[in-house]
Structure 1
Amino acid sequence: MASTSSSFITLVSFLFFLHLSCLFNNLNAKHILTKNHNHQHQHTKNPSSNPRLYRAFLALQAWKRVIYSDPNNFTTNWIGPSVCTYHGVYCAPSIDDPEVTIVAGIDLNFGDIAGFLPNELGLLSDLALLHLNSNRFCGIVPITFNNLTLLYELDLSNNRFVGPFPFVALSLPSLKYLDIRYNEFEGPLPPQLFNKSFDAIFVNNNRFSGSIPSNLGQTKVSVLVFANNKLGGCLPESIVNFADTLEELVLINTSISGCLPQQVGSLYKLRVFDVSFNQIVGPIPYSLAGLSHLEQLNLAHNEMSGIVPSAVCELPSLANFTFSYNFFCEEEGICQNLTSKRIAFDDRRNCLPEKPLQRSTKECNAILEHPVDCFELCCPEDGGFGTNVTAGSVAIPTASIPAAMPVSAPFLAPSYP
């Protein structure tokens, strides 16, 4: 009897522990499944956890679908909704709520990526920086960019964008830095461009045409590069409005004509002034003697004439003065020996009687016998010379001007982050 009772107790105990074991295993399995489900749910489409990152995910996936070539594998890891781990994508706390993470910047510079910009990029409404320098993006800039109200820097340079000036950039209230150089944009530059509070504008090496807008100077930029476009017309006197801010003005090969306005001498912060490869006539304005910060002055390949004033050659910061391929007939004072001031210079192909490598007497007489009176110069807004200048000047043959003069090294990359 005692043996039977003992066997019964043993059986009950075994069943009890078996039940506990099964219960434990079931609970453990449920915990693992729940954990895996939550982990999977966390990394799949979950707009409720962070709707702003989810919108960024949708935008970047739409962009990846229209990227046709990515030889450097910049976008290879653009997989899944963890956008903050994507190459070239930078996240940060939101301005309006530091507890919320947002996509604040995208930098795909030098990616050599081919594709275009889809409308879905307008979903990146938290974006402050967009840098796409040196790729093969083509097409037009989508109008949905007008949703990027926090965008501070837009760099689309060295791509294959086409169409008119991207007006959508003018609708961005926070934009301070605009770089669209080395593309295929065409048509006129909109006057509205110079009503915006930009810090730097690079529009060089496109196909822009027409004249420089007469409201030039309403914006307070420090760097303005127009080079290698066919703008024509004269440099507007409104350039004086840049006096308090402008440090670099580059107008290489822009087909501008007429005389340089005296107002250029009011740009007292100017360090770089380059108007080479144009059809500028007349003398060097004496007002340039007031540019005490000027380091580089390039007047080469124009039709300027008269005297090279000593006051310009004596500028305290001047390091490089190029005035070759003009019709200057005299160098005043120290201008005859700029080497003594350790100033790099080029005075070839002028009409300087005692200097080597000058123009022929016949070439010089054709210009010098008909001096230009800048006070009577007519400069129509549609570009070209006025009637008072045509009779006394010789236009540079189109063939002598390169289709796209390279912008010198300081302007190949902006001095901004």
Structure 2
Amino acid sequence: MGSQRSKTSFLLLVLSLFSLLHKLETKHNTHHSHPHHNHKNSQSSAANPKLNQAYIALQAWKKVIYSDPTNYTSNWVGPSVCRYRGIYCGPAIDDNTTTVVSGIDLNHLDLAGFLPDEIGLLADLALLHINSNRFCGVLPLTLSNLTLLYELDLSNNRFVGPFPSVVLSLPSLKYLDLRYNEFEGPVPSELFNNKSLDAIFVNNNRFTSVIPSNLGMSTASVVVFANNKFGGCLPPSIANFANSIEELLLINTSLTGCLPEEVGYLYKLRVLDVSYNQLVGRIPYSIAGLAHLEQLNFAHNMMSGEVSDGICVLPNLTNFTLSYNFFCEEQGLCGNLTSKGVVFDDRRNCLPGKKLQRSKKVCDVILEHPVECEEFNCDYS
């Protein structure tokens, strides 16, 4: 999937940080049942105020983890927090002679509980990964104390409430993953004023309202909105995304109206997926200028008109899906795109002479009333 590949690509940007953590593990022969640091560091932890703060935070967290099926946190005992499973220590950014807790990785452990206010005591955290667990409730406001946090992955849990605005106060955050939770209500426009975020995943929640009109003000390279109920039109201001966005996934977000021509200004775009919406009108011809485009998906909309040859000759196109629409003509190479080695799906359209198309009766109703995109009164709140 495009978003998953982009996540992997993005993580390469922080390879140096992970490399440091892995070197620490290798140096001290770390395993699930072994300490992350040697005894000298562990013994000195009592004299280190930052590790004392971490001890308070982690003990508070352990008390509110009410289900730990694999007993992963069973060794979270005593002040030597660098020996705890899932806890990574390293030198403080401002003082390499001071050991601090710099990373937490509790992914895929099926832990149940919530995040206590004391989590804010972990002020040196750069990485907080707790995806695929059963953490619930709302995020504590004390997360705002984590001013060095670079990656926050809360995906696939049971967090609730409105968009957690506390994440907007994290000045170092590059990677934000909130997908597969129960967040609801609008996504604040302030999220896209953030110039540090490189990847934004808010898919598979209960977000509503419309996509903020300042969407393009972000400098993120990956944005995934999929499987929410935003509605409204894609704002023309998306053109401002041109210098950064590489993957944009808007699958099943209740989008309406026509795709704006400004989509074609996103010259770095590699993946565009707007499938399973209520989009109408023609494919913007400007998309024919997206030379880096690899995956393009318009499936399950109400789009119509012709499919331009300019899109089908894009040099990097590998997957093009336009099934379940009302397209009536495929120009040039589009009529036999598979001959170019492109994965192509044009089922259930109104294409003369093609197999697996809609009935003439259904097509005539749509084609007799061509869509005029200018007629749509889009709400760009």
State the TM-score, normalizing by the size of structure 2. 0.87
Contact kept in structure 2, 1:44 and 1:81, CA below 8 Å: no
CA distance, structure 1, for counterparts of residue 70 and residue 292 of structure 2: 43
Contact kept in structure 2, 1:281 and 1:302, CA below 8 Å: yes
Task: Work out whether 1:175 is the aligned partner of 2:177.
Answer: no
CA distance, structure 1, for counterparts of residue 71 and residue 266 of structure 2: 46
Q: Please state whether the residue corresponding to 1:284 is helix, strand or coil.
A: coil
CA distance, structure 1, for counterparts of residue 256 and residue 45 of structure 2: 59
Task: Work out whether 1:152 is the aligned partner of 2:150.
Answer: yes
Change (3 A) 1:371 1:323: same
Contact kept in structure 2, 1:227 and 1:253, CA below 8 Å: yes
For 1:105-120, what aligned pairs fall within 5 Å after superposition? 105-120=103-118
Contact kept in structure 2, 1:258 and 1:379, CA below 8 Å: yes
- 1:224-274: CA deviation from partner (whole Å, max 9, x where unpaired): 000000000000111111101111000000000100010110111101000
- 1:97-122: CA deviation from partner (whole Å, max 9, x where unpaired): 11100000000011110111000101
- Higher-Rg member (1/2): 1
Q: Which residue of 1 aligns with 2:204?
A: 205
**AA at the equivalent of 1:58:** I
CA distance, structure 1, for counterparts of residue 118 and residue 338 of structure 2: 58
- Quote how far apart the aligned CAs of 1:72 are: 2.0
After the TM superposition, which of the residue ranges 325-334 and 365-374 deviates more from structure 2? 365-374
CA distance, structure 1, for counterparts of residue 338 and residue 228 of structure 2: 34
In structure 2, runs of 5+ residues without a counterpart are 1-38
**AA at the equivalent of 2:78:** G
**AA at the equivalent of 1:294:** L
Q: Using the aligned pairs only, state the percent identity.
A: 70
For 1:18-417, what aligned pairs fall within 5 Å after superposition? 46=46, 49-197=47-195, 198-381=197-380
**AA at the equivalent of 1:92:** G
State the TM-score, normalizing by the size of structure 1. 0.80
- Quote how far apart the aligned CAs of 1:190 are: 0.2
Change (3 A) 1:225 1:215: same
- Quote how far apart the aligned CAs of 1:185 are: 0.3
- Quote how far apart the aligned CAs of 1:367 are: 1.0
Contact kept in structure 1, 2:235 and 2:380, CA below 8 Å: no
CA distance, structure 2, for counterparts of residue 144 and residue 156 of structure 1: 16
- Quote how far apart the aligned CAs of 1:43 are: 5.4
- Quote how far apart the aligned CAs of 1:45 are: 9.0
- 1:266-287: CA deviation from partner (whole Å, max 9, x where unpaired): 1111010000000000000000
- Quote how far apart the aligned CAs of 1:376 are: 3.3
**AA at the equivalent of 1:238:** S
**AA at the equivalent of 1:309:** S
**AA at the equivalent of 1:296:** Q
Q: Which residue of 1 aligns with 2:8?
A: none
- Quote how far apart the aligned CAs of 1:203 are: 0.1
In structure 1, runs of 5+ residues without a counterpart are 1-38, 383-417
CA distance, structure 1, for counterparts of residue 184 and residue 268 of structure 2: 31
Change (3 A) 1:312 1:52: same
**AA at the equivalent of 2:96:** P
CA distance, structure 2, for counterparts of residue 101 and residue 201 of structure 1: 31
C-alpha RMSD of matched pairs (Å): 1.4
**AA at the equivalent of 1:226:** F
Count of matched residue pairs: 340
CA distance, structure 1, for counterparts of residue 372 and residue 56 of structure 2: 62
Contact kept in structure 1, 2:45 and 2:51, CA below 8 Å: no
- Quote how far apart the aligned CAs of 1:44 are: 10
CA distance, structure 2, for counterparts of residue 97 and residue 326 of structure 1: 59
- Quote how far apart the aligned CAs of 1:361 are: 1.2
Q: Please state whether the residue corresponding to 2:334 is helix, strand or coil.
A: helix
CA distance, structure 1, for counterparts of residue 167 and residue 200 of structure 2: 12
- Quote how far apart the aligned CAs of 1:219 are: 1.2
**AA at the equivalent of 1:367:** I
- Quote how far apart the aligned CAs of 1:188 are: 0.2
